[in-house]
Chain A
Amino acid sequence: MLVLDNIHTHYGKIEALHGVSVEIKKGEIVSLIGANGAGKTTMLMTVCGTPQASAGRITFQGRDITHQPTASIMRSGIAIVPEGRRVFPGLTVTENLHMGGFFNTKAEISKSQAHVFELFPRLKEREDQRAGTMSGGEQQMLAIGRALMSKPQMIILDEPSLGLAPLVIKQIFEIIGQLRDEGITVFLVEQNANQALALADRGYVLETGKIRLHDTGKNLLANPEVRKAYLGG
């Protein structure tokens, strides 16, 4: 579904990604793990077109999106839940959700909204509350809900567990599994390697701008190298 082929990305003169190739198939959960500064977020940003790749090719559903502007990539069926949630703090929960469905018709919006409230009953309770006044976990739910509003075929999650309580993380990961069951392809970028790999069909390990390992989630969890570097032995 999403194919990154030998992607190089530069920030000015500094190369952050040195030829990364990743493939995500329809209906999968694929996890990308890596340490701080490995280039995980850069890789996601490159998929979204900011910054654009300096070499290589990205295709989504067979269409070349390497040099497309961000706005048109984000309207083509990919949705991203950005790192650090980034909900609109001054807007209410409902308004945040409506921004997610900006390019859809009213009927579609109310349908997706009902669906999001089903996935996250907590958001329904808070529908008229300003997003900035909610807890971190609720904001993360809202960020995921907002991304789902555009009815994407694929959802990219950048560190959804960042700064959340273990109980909330468990809940979020359950929802991610549920999304896959609904037929949405999930690309999960995490530092929380244990849970991310347990959930994933396949996983990639990114190290200093290169893909180091690539295997099924189970195998990676069992891999002594991965255990040592990311799972604490």
Chain B
Amino acid sequence: MMAAQNVKHALFCAIITLVISYPILGLKLEAAGIRVVLTGADASTLVAIVAAAVAVFVFQLFRDTIFKGLGRLPSFSPLANREPMSQEKRARVESIALILLLMAALTWPFFASRGSVDLATLVLIYVMLALGLNVVVGLAGLLDLGYVAFYAVGAYTFALLHQYFDFTFWQALFVGSGLAAFTGMLLGFPVLRLRGDYLAIVTLGFGEIIRILLNNWTQLTGGPNGIGGIPDPTLFGMEFGRRVKEEGNISFHEFFNIPYDSNHKIIFLYLIALVLATFTALVIRRFMKMPVGRAWEALREDEIAARSLGLNRTSIKLSAFTIGAFFAGFAGTVFASKQGFISPESFVFLESAIILAIVVLGGMGSQLGVILAAIAVTILPELAREFSEYRMLIFGAAMVTMMVWRPQGLMPVRRIPIKLKKAE
């Protein structure tokens, strides 16, 4: 009985392997003159596909035996049988690690290549986004699938304010995130009574509304053509370009009397992103320790119980939405400045999904985990670039493996016991 079931399951897995891999690997589109011709792959690829299916079949057939055998092997990790660290020690190690990480992040770009600093800036943008979404999803437990809308609001606010009113990065940063926060609050009102799946659908719709609005309001936003010429940030009025664009400004290399280097601009933007991401992390950390942070968690755990204790559902949910959206606006402004050009293309649903994936991968509610996951998720597709067309496949496989291996996330949140002084 058991064996028959195993054979059935293994056969099923092997067929799935064939069905998935044959169209991807075994079929090729080739241009023959002006027509596109579908051709089969060569024999070696076909053999490889069949071999893969056989391998899957054999593995699934003897899965129980293999895993039993693995369980009996002595653990290779020297850390496996170690006692867990005490809370205080762990907190100390964690803060030292964070400080070292920050120091490395501060000095690293001066020795790294231009491309990797640029990528690191993108990583930091995702860190900000993920930390913001972590408030909504991880702490308050409100599944938001349209988070990218607030990111778009931040980016477009900067782009439009620059285009029409000549705002600089620093002015737009707070207007943009403020406006994103306001949008977050607006979205909060209609969804107050919704939970779970219903909430997810409404937020998903909201994200699409913003994107479609940006796409179709051609007069204001330029529609699919996007908005270009978004300026870089300035340092106390100093610009980083070779020539000064705005009157009254001076350029950075002239002021310090050093030769012009196009890397300065990239590094400066990276440092701004680093400062803003650190600011985001610290502010949200502060919120988590405040009563409102505990109220978010209580509401996530049990809404009815939270209300029975006199907590106001409306204000708690709205605060989570608003604060989450505020930091998306932050990220949006930096993103607009980094790209110099934005269009609705950058704010599709896939972005929301990736940010959500970062939060889930990192461990809901855990800040350090979310930061690590943001780094992993942004860099992995870049590292896998040499696999060209298979890189998203590898990315997907990595995510699936990760969730099977550690469903609680990279670094699940720990409960830090609150200690109160004895009553006098």
A residues near B (Cβ < 8 Å) are 48, 50, 69-75, 79-80, 82, 86-92, 94-95, 98-100, 102-103, 106-107, 109-111, 113-114, 127-128, 130, 146, 150
Q: In this assembly, does B291 line the interface, its C-beta being within 8 Å of a C-beta of chain A? A: yes
Residues of B within 8 A of A48 (CB): 308
Residues of A within 8 A of B300 (CB): 90
Complexed CA–CA distance, A69 and B311 (Å): 11
* Cβ of B84 to closest chain A Cβ, rounded Å: 14
Q: Tell me, in angstroms, the Cα distance from A106 to B310 when the chains sit together.
A: 17
Q: Are A99 and B298 in contact (CB under 8 A)?
A: yes
**A71 touching B417 in the complex, CB below 8 Å, given contacts A86-B304, A88-B301:** no
Known: A70-B307, A71-B312. A106 touches B420 (CB 8 A): yes
Q: Which residue of A lies closest to B314 (CB)?
A: A71
CB neighbours (8 Å) of A86 from chain B are 302, 304-305, 308
Instruction: A92-B415, A110-B423, A150-B310 are known; give 12 further A-B pairs, CB within 8 A.
Output: A82-B305, A82-B308, A87-B305, A89-B301, A89-B302, A94-B418, A98-B294, A99-B298, A102-B294, A109-B420, A110-B421, A110-B422
A80 & B421 in contact (Cβ 8 Å cutoff): no
Question: Shortest beta-carbon distance, A168 to chain B, in Å?
Answer: 20
B366 → A minimal CB distance (Å) = 13
| Chain A min CB distance to B140 (Å) | 13
Whether a CB of chain A sits under 8 angstroms from the CB of B309 is yes
Give the interface of B toward A (CB within 8 A): 291, 294-295, 297-298, 300-302, 304-313, 415, 417-418, 420-423
Q: Contact between A99 and B309 (Cβ–Cβ < 8 Å)?
A: yes
Q: Which of B306, B307, B310 has the most CB of A within 10 A?
A: B310
Q: Whole-angstrom distance between the alpha carbons of A131 and B310 in the complex?
A: 20
Q: Which residue of B lies closest to A50 (CB)?
A: B307
A90–B297 touching, CB < 8 Å: yes
Within the complex, the shortest CB–CB distance from A65 to chain B, in Å, comes to: 13
A109 to B309, CA, bound (A): 14
Check B308 against A127 for contact (C-beta < 8 Å).
no
Given A88-B302, A90-B301, A92-B417, A102 and B295 contact (CB-CB distance below 8 Å): yes
The 4 closest A-B pairs by CB, nearest first: A74-B310, A88-B301, A86-B305, A75-B310
Q: Report B76 CB to chain A, min CB distance, Å.
A: 31
Closest approach, in angstroms, between the C-beta of B364 and any C-beta of chain A? 10
Q: How far is A88 from B306 in the complex, measured between Cα atoms in Å?
A: 9
6 cross-chain CB contacts under 8 A = A71-B312, A92-B415, A98-B294, A109-B420, A128-B415, A128-B417
State the Cβ distance, B308 to closest chain A Cβ, in Å. 5
B residues in contact with A90, CB < 8 Å: 297, 300-301, 415
CB-CB under 8 A from B301, the residues of chain A are: 88-91
Q: Is the CB of A99 within 8 A of B294?
A: yes
For B423, list chain A residues within 8 Å (CB): 107, 110-111, 114
Do A74 and B309 form a contact, CB below 8 Å, given A92-B417, A99-B294? Answer: yes
* Chain B residues within an 8 Å CB radius of A114: 422-423
A109 to B419 CA separation, bound complex (whole angstroms): 12
Question: Is A74's CB under 8 angstroms from B418's CB?
Answer: no
Please indicate which of the listed interface residues A48, A102, A114 has the most CB atoms of chain B within 10 Å of its own CB.
Answer: A102
A95:B418 contact, CB within 8 angstroms? yes
A71 and B294 in contact (CB under 8 A), knowing A87-B305, A88-B305?
no
Q: Are B302 and A71 in contact, with the CB atoms below 8 A? A: no
Taking a contact as CB atoms closer than 8 A, the residue among A82, A95, A102, A107 that contacts B310 in the complex is A102
Which residues of B sit under 8 angstroms from A75, Cβ to Cβ?
Answer: 310
Expressed in whole angstroms, the Cα–Cα distance for A72 and B315 within the complex equals 13
Q: Which residue, of B300, B305, B306, has the highest number of chain A Cβ atoms within 10 A?
A: B305
Taking A95-B418, A107-B423, A128-B417 as contacts, is the C-beta distance between A71 and B295 under 8 angstroms?
no
Q: Do A99 and B307 form a contact, CB below 8 Å, given A90-B297, A90-B301, A91-B297?
A: no
CB neighbours of A98 from chain B (8 A): 294, 418
Shortest Cβ distance from residue A58 to the other chain B in the assembled complex, whole angstroms: 16
State which of A99, A110, A128, A150 has its C-beta within 8 Å of the C-beta of B306.
A99
B417 to chain A: closest residue by CB:
A128
B299 CB, min distance to chain A CBs, angstroms = 9
In Å, the complex CA distance between A168 and B300 comes to 29
Cβ of A127 and Cβ of B310 under 8 Å apart?
no
Q: Let me know if B415 and A130 touch, CB within 8 A.
A: yes
Q: Give CA–CA (A219, B187) in the complex, Å.
A: 56
